[in-house]
Amino acid sequence: MTSSEQAAASSPAFHSQYRVVIVGAGLVGLLLAIVLRRADYHVVVIDKDGELKEIGAGIILPANACRALAQANVLDKVKSCAVAPNAWVSHSYQQGGILARMELDPYIQDQYKVPFLVIHRPDLRRILFEEAKARGACIHLATTADVHRTDFSDGLIHATVTDDVEMVARNPDDGRKERTLQADLVIAADGQQSEARAFLAGHANQPLPTGKMVNRILIGIDRMREMGLEDLINPPCIHVWLGPGSMAVGYLLKDVFNFVLVCSSECEPEVYLGHREVEEEQLRAVFHDWDPRIRSLVENGHGYLKWLLLENGDTALSSCIHAAEGDKLKLALTGNAAHAIGPYIGSGAALGFESATVLGALLEQARQQSDIGPMLSVYESLRRPRTDLVKRVTQKMGQEWMLPDGPLQADRDRTFVEEVPPSQGYPNALQDPFFQTWLYSFDGEQEAREAWLLHREDSVDCA
C-alpha cells in the first residue's frame, strides 16, 4: 500500500463525502488537489481555460517549493524534467562583471535536504495535472465559477461550462451551458484577478500598474553556442543583471535558454491583462548600453512576449477566508489569489506551494466536519504574516536591484563584492544567511500539525 493509500485508509469517513471544489487548475490548484486526494477528500477542479497553457516558459523552484513537491510525492517526476542550476550569479549591467555568486547545487541539497530547480512551466503543470487525475481528482476545463451567485447557505455553486471553446470564440451566445455544483468548501486558486477575491473584497478587481513590465525571450541551445554564449549555459546557472530601472534574468531549461527582462512600463498606452507580443525595437532601445551578451540575446531570440506587473487595488483585503457560522459552504483563497508577489526573488510559486501544503495538511487532520471552519482560520493566521514579509522583501529587492546609477548603486555593488561571507542585510536577501534559512527551511506539514495541536490545546484550556 502506498503512502497515499495509507493516508486515505486512515482518514475519517466524512472526508470521502466532503466536497471540495478548487477553482483554478494552475500549479497551486493542482498541487492542492493532489494533497487533498491523499486525505481522501472528494475533489473537483475547474478552470475557465479550455486547454492547459502557460504564459511564462520557466519557473524557479527553490528549496521550500521542492519540499512541498516532495511531501506530495511528485518531486522525482519533477526532477526528471528539471535542471539543477549550479549557482545564482549577480552581474553588473554594463559589462556583465560578476558582483556575487550564491552556490545552489549541491549546496542547497546538502543544507536543506531538497534541491533547487528550474523547469518549464508547461512540463510542471502537465506533471501535476496527470498526478491529480491519477489520484482521483475530477478536473473540468472550460468551466467558470460565478462566486457572486453562489448560495453559501446550501452550498450551490453556479458555473458556466463551455462545451466548444472555438464555437464560443466565434459566437459568444453559443456553446455555453449553465451548471450547478454542490460543494462544502471552495478553494480559489485562480490567480491575482480571482473572482473569489473580488467577492471577499466586495467590489470588482482593480488591477493597478506597478510601473514595471516583464518581457520573455527564448533562445535555442544551438543558437546560444553559435553566438558564443556557452558561458551562460555551461555550467547551468541563474544569471541576474542589475541595472538602472531594469533587470534581466536568464537560465537554462532542458532545451532552451529562458531570458526575462523587467523594465519600465511607461511606454504602454493602457493597463491590460494577459500577454502581448513584444515590440523588439523598444527592448533594443532600453538595453542598448547593457552587457553585449544581453544585446545579442534580445536580437536573436524567439517567442517574444510581454505582460504588465500588476498589483491588486484591495491590498488591505481583511480576510482570505469566508467561514460564516451556519453557512454550509466555506471559501478560502490560496496562491496568487491570496498573496501575489513580484518575480524578483523567484518565490511566487514557492509561496503558493507552501500554502497548498499547509491547507492540505490542516484539512488532513480534520476528524469531524466542524473542524473545517477553525482550520481555515488557523490557515490564514499561519500564512498571512509569512507571505506579507516575503512580499515586502521581494519589493525591497526589486527596488535595490534596479537602483539608478549613483552613490547608492555604488555602495550596493561594493557590498556585493566586499562582504564575504554575506551577513544580515546583504543586497541579495537570498544570500542573507538568516533570511535564506527562514525562507528555505519552511516545512508546511510540520507547521500545520504544530499549529492545529496548539489550537486544540488552547480550545481545551478555554473550555
Question: Residue 55 above 70 pLDDT?
Answer: no
Per-residue pLDDT reduced to its tens digit, 29-47: 999 999 999 999 999 999 9
| pLDDT for res 172 | 47
What are φ and ψ of residue 443, in 5° steps? -125, 100
What are φ and ψ of residue 177, in 5° steps? -135, 140
d(CA 195, CA 355): 19
Question: Residue 67 above 80 pLDDT?
Answer: yes
pLDDT, greater one: 239 or 7? 239
| pLDDT for res 150 | 85
CA neighbours within 13 Å on the CB side: how many for 269? 1
d(CA 319, CA 321): 6
| pLDDT for res 326 | 82
Q: What is the DSSP string of 381-435?
A: HHHHHHHHHHHHHHHHHHHHHTPPSSHHHHHHHHHHHH-SS--TT-SSGGGSHHH
The residues, ordered by sequence, that sit 6+ positions from 20 with a Cβ below 8 Å of its Cβ are 36, 41, 42, 43, 44, 183, 184, 185, 186, 187, 363
Question: Mean per-residue pLDDT for 398-417?
Answer: 97
- Starting at the edge strand found earlier in the chain, the sheet holding 138-140 runs 138-140, 42-46, 19-23, 185-188, 330-333, 321-322
Per-residue pLDDT reduced to its tens digit, 248-304: 999 999 989 999 999 999 888 888 888 888 888 888 999 999 999 999 999 999 889
| pLDDT class of 166 with cuts at 50, 70, 90 | very low
Residue 336, C-alpha cell as written in the block: 496568487
Q: Which of 201-210, 300-309, 390-399 has the lowest mean pLDDT?
A: 201-210
Q: Which of 194-198, 199-203, 306-310, 435-439 has the lowest mean pLDDT?
A: 199-203
